[in-house]
Chain A
Amino acid sequence: MKTAKLFAATAFAAMSGLSVSNAQAAELTLCWAAWDPANALVELSKEFEAESGHTMKFEFVPWPNFADRMLNELNSGGKLCDLLIGDSQWIGGGAENGHYVKLNEFFDKESISMDDFAPATVYAYSTWPKGTPNYYALPAMGDANGWFYRKDWFALPEIQEAFKAQHGRDLAPPKTQAELLEIAQFFQGREIDGQTRYGAAIFTERGSEGITMGATSAMYPFGFKYEMTPGKYDMEGAVNSPEAVAGLEFYKELYKTGTPPGYTDSYMEQSLDAFKSGQVAIAMNWFAFFPGLYADPDIGGDKIGFFVNPGQNKEASTLGGQGISVVAYSENQDAALEYIKWFAQPSVQKKWWDLGGYSCHVSVLNDPGFADSAPFASDFLLAMDGVMDFWQEPAYAELLLAMQKRLHDYVVADQGTAKEALDKLIGDWTETFEDEGKL
């Protein structure tokens, strides 16, 4: 009898094992940008592999080519990616062109509630049309453009003294954009430890999205907005408002008077390089890089400090970050949805934050210990409270390239005035929206 039971149990186990292995035959490919959080996700996903039996493959593309590579993949109906952590601005195109699977039914079935994620991230990373309960992604990686500085240089007595003599206040992380400019100009060309240092590393890149992400970090706090009435595409008076013009003029002044020589085409990598090599006192970059910077043996730890993008007329930061979507052309959609279900669990989200990813889950963000869990955590919360994002329209690439051109022409190439640049931008965008049938 005992033998019979053992035999039956073994047979059952073998059969259930077989059925599991049938369901687990999928090899999932997750596509994302090649950067620090991607490495954290590889580590995190090992747990999913162990739990589900699926195998995970990763396709990480460097940021400058990420949009080109992935949008081409989606537009051609490619099957490379089962899961895609795509930029927030792609959500409109992903939804309207049928590249992303709509997740509403799946969320309902699996009891995944969008109320469990920070509202700003759900709005930015998941919904299309904006703000409607139509979900095409799960918020995966919260991010915003922030700042970091050489805390050790700020603490030097001679530097403190010189700054106070010049500006009549202590040198400290800036509270306004105007203070930020003063600090950048103060460090510009200054000798520290026998070497010439410069003010700030900012984004000026022309080819992809760099200068738009950098300049909007100044323009949003000054009062730049895209439309007078949300959803109406009435850009006159919003895009070229006096506040927007002042914000753009400010960014140009920051570029001209506070950045290292030859800093004409720089984005994330160049900003990190300039900071790590000791060229600059302050630098802008995405929060996603902050854990890596803090852990850096040369410039991290006590030598580095972080601050949220300073306000001016209002508090605002440029949104980064992404949601995770299931690609409609994937042949492994069930397994991909399984991954999303696993990823949405609070315990996994907690581990995601611990490994260096920026969770958008309220259980993580609202944890009383969150703000003190890392030196940049409280700034991250502040930033996410006031994030603003670029157009998320299906024609976003066209809209973005127009802004890249107009901003670079004005800021770096010295062509025309800020008002002219923004007026031309309205012209470009109007043409695009007319082609789209939205105007």
Chain B
Amino acid sequence: MSDTPIDRIAKATPPGVAGKIKGLSDRAIAWLFVAPTIFLLLAVNIFPLIWTINLSFTNFRANRPNREVDYIGLRNYERILTDGDIWLTMQATAHFLFWTIFLQVLIGFTLAWLINRKFKGNDLWTTLIVLPMMLSPAVVGNFWTFLYQPQIGLFNYGISFLTGVDPSSFQMIGDVALAPWAIVIVDTWMWTPFVMLICLAGLRSIPDYIYEAAEIDRASRWRQFWTITVPMVLPFLMLAVLFRGIENFKMFDLVVQLTGGGPGSVTELTSINLKREAFEKWRTGYASAYAIILFVTVFGLASIYVKALNKVKER
């Protein structure tokens, strides 16, 4: 009988090597398998993070490789935290985050609740609703600039049709008061379907027998909604909020295409501001400190949030 491939490999393996492998403990073999991943993680995540922290204490500029680099202590951090313009950027980001998440959760959950009710054309509606999130943010940003155009934009005409105001009398992306809402509307249009899908998964995971038992107990629809639907969907909703929160904190492409951060700087979110500091002004040390501050903020908020999420799940 001929040897199997395994037998052939075993025979071909030099006794020394085989012995060495045989001599390895389970822990050592586990390390052997995990080591490449850890190395990769260190190389692409941890090392850049440490390097960024190091740069944040310097006046380094990546476009001036020949210039002497000085350690300037906490000066970059001090400048950022006392810069009124940076705080305005933070406020713009907070406004964007709060309203996009609020509207997306509200509309997304409502849509999911409606879609979850069996009706004719259910699948078609689901497909149509999720279409916006399949588009590229750059494309969405571009065509919404046309929709918002005061002279030819459909959005302005829609508002004009509904309210009777002159379509060219207001500028969604050119007006300081309206531009922050313009980006909220577009992001909500694009990403509400994502929240809807997560909520839909949550709604469909609730077993029917719970509602049946509630019916037997003569619980009203309203009561069922607040005591069964909402608590059981809550972990899913919180997950959606976490995903959208992280995504929108680093929002860049959509807003750059729509407003470029303007008018003035009213829609200049932190990611846009950071990009300008790092890759247009080339203040690498300063931008590194800025990035670290943002990282600590997001990391801190996300940690608190994940703890809350775990508590909700445990209930």
A residues at B contact (CB < 8 Å): 68, 71-72, 75, 93, 97-98, 205-207, 260-265, 394, 397-398, 401, 405, 408-410, 412-415, 435
Contact = CB atoms under 8 A, between A and B. Distances in A.
A265 B182 CA distance: 15
Given A261-B150, A412-B262, A435-B59, 19 more contacts: A72-B279, A97-B65, A205-B260, A206-B263, A207-B260, A207-B261, A260-B151, A262-B148, A262-B168, A264-B171, A264-B173, A265-B173, A398-B281, A398-B283, A405-B264, A408-B263, A410-B264, A413-B262, A415-B176
Label chain B's interface by main secondary structure: loop
B192 interface: no
Contact of B66 (A97, A206, A412): A97
Contacts, number: 84
Given A71-B63, A261-B171, A397 B280 contact: yes
A413 B266 contact: yes
Contacts of A401: 276, 280-281
B229 interface: no
Given A75-B282, A398-B281, A414-B176, A408 B262 contact: yes
A409 B261 contact: no
A261 B151 CA distance: 7
22 contacts: A93-B63, A98-B66, A207-B261, A261-B150, A261-B151, A261-B168, A261-B171, A262-B150, A262-B151, A262-B168, A262-B173, A265-B173, A265-B260, A394-B64, A398-B280, A401-B281, A405-B264, A413-B264, A413-B266, A414-B264, A415-B176, A435-B59
Contacts of B66: 97-98
Contact of A412 (B151, B264, B283): B264
Interface string B158-190: 000000000010010110100000000000000
Given A98-B66, A414-B176, A265 B259 contact: yes
Label chain A's interface by main secondary structure: loop
Interface in B20-77: 59, 62-66
A412 B171 CA distance: 12
B149 interface: yes
Given A97-B64, A98-B66, A206 B262 contact: yes
Contacts of B85: 405
Contact of A68 (B151, B173, B259, B280): B280
A97 B171 contact: no
B261 A412 contact: no
Interface string B276-310: 10011111000000000000000000000000000
B64 A408 contact: no
A262 B259 CA distance: 12
In order of increasing CB-CB distance, the 8 nearest A-B pairs are A413-B264, A264-B174, A409-B264, A262-B150, A398-B281, A206-B262, A261-B150, A75-B63
Contacts of A206: 260-264
A287 to B, nearest CB: 26
B261 A262 contact: no
Nearest to A424: B85
Nearest to B266: A413
A164 to B, nearest CB: 29
Contacts of A414: 176, 264
A379 B134 CA distance: 51
B142 interface: no
B265 A413 contact: yes
Nearest to B264: A413
Nearest to B272: A207
A233 B313 CA distance: 62
A313 B64 CA distance: 40
A264 B280 contact: no
Contacts of A264: 171, 173-174, 262-263
A408 B264 contact: yes
A429 to B, nearest CB: 12
Nearest to B152: A262
Contacts of A412: 174, 262-264
Nearest to A410: B264
Interface in B134-152: 148-151
A415 B264 contact: yes
A101 to B, nearest CB: 16
A97 B59 contact: no
Contacts of B64: 97, 394
B265 A409 contact: yes
Contacts of A405: 85, 264-265
A68 B281 CA distance: 10
Interface in B99-153: 148-151
Nearest to A264: B174
Contact of A397 (B259, B262, B281): B281
A22 to B, nearest CB: 35
A398 B64 CA distance: 13
Interface hub of B171, B174, B256, B266 (most chain A Cβ within 10 A):
B174
Contacts of A263: 174
Contacts of A207: 256, 260-261
Contacts of A260: 151
Given A261-B150, A264-B171, A413 B281 contact: no
